[in-house]
Amino acid sequence: MEIIPAIDIIDGKCVRLTQGDYAQKKIYNEHPLEVAAAFEDAGLRRLHLVDLDGAKAGAVKNWKVLETLASRTGLVIDFGGGIKTAADVDIVFNSGASLATVGSIAVKDAALFVSWLGSYGAEKFLLGADVKNEKIAIGGWQETTDIWIYDFVREYMDKGVRQVFCTDVSKDGLLQGPALELYRNIIVEFPELHLIASGGVSEMDDIYRLEEAGCKGVIIGKAIYEGFILLNDLSKYNAD
């Protein structure tokens, strides 16, 4: 299973929010490149980079941070936050992202997202599915839809999407463990899906449980920054 550390960006700085609340912001490092380099030094190969300014503004904002990390590390970066137009997608790929992370737009404007899948290739997108009681949540999790997670995943797998990361909103940032039952159910329904867990991971045992459940990757943020999971332990996990 692939370990994917997360860097969330506000004003060019590495931060974390609790349950998507901008009022609950904590700055961890003013230099994201230092953080990314530490991840790479630990033997990690992927990075989940989130433009929180972009997510709030509805347009990509922190592409220069992406450009810096992509040009000065060898990390495979997926980048999301504020991708709303084809111009945003172009900025993301031109700035060095390997994958564009898309969530709300796949719910609000499915036709547009499907057109991007055709133009750029479905393999270039990481689909984000934020979930509250098995229903898709959008708009910084403030808005819960009537769309069942299984219908959402099925719709886009039929269009060629294979990588999906799923965040249980009730778990994110609380360090109380991931949504194992949800992930098991999704994997039973879609055994060929490259499912990436996100939210709630607080210890190495969570990582082993997610691997046993069949997840192909796990995004980890706060647990690393707060010292609950050490980069040295992640490095050993990768080496096993």
The DSSP H or E segment spanning 168 is strand 163-168
Instruction: Give the pLDDT confidence score for residue 142 in this predicted structure.
Output: 65
**CATH number, domain at 21?**
3.20.20.70
Query: Known catalytic residue: 130?
Result: yes
**Is residue 233 annotated as part of the catalytic site, yes or no?**
no
Asked if residue 7 lies in contact with residue 32, where contact means CB atoms within 8 angstroms, the answer is yes
Domain count, the chain: 1
Instruction: Give the residue-averaged pLDDT of 212-225.
Output: 96
- Residue 174: its pLDDT value, please? 67
Contact 47, 72 (CB under 8 A): no
- Give the pair of three-digit tokens for residue 131: 């979930």
Share of the chain above pLDDT 90, in %: 84
Q: What phi and psi, each to the nearest 5 degrees, are found at residue 102?
A: -130, 135
Catalytic site residue from 130, 168, 172, 206: 130
Distance CA 26, CA 31 (A): 14
If you average pLDDT over residues 220-232, what whole number do you get?
A: 95
- Span 87-91, average pLDDT: 98
**Token pair in block for residue 18:** 């609790």
Question: Which residue in 224, 194, 225, 185 sits closest to 207, CA to CA?
Answer: 224
Q: Any residues with CB less than 8 A from the CB of 128 and at least 6 apart, and which?
A: 80, 101, 102, 103, 106, 164, 165, 166, 167
Considering only CA atoms, which of 205, 158, 165 is closest in space to residue 182?
165
Range of the domain at 151: 2-239
Q: Please state the rounded mean pLDDT for residues 193-199.
A: 96
Neighbours of 164 (CB within 10 A): 22
Average pLDDT over residues 133-152: 86
Digit-coded pLDDT (tens) for 144-163:
899 999 999 999 999 999 99
CA pair distance 73, 69, nearest whole angstrom: 6
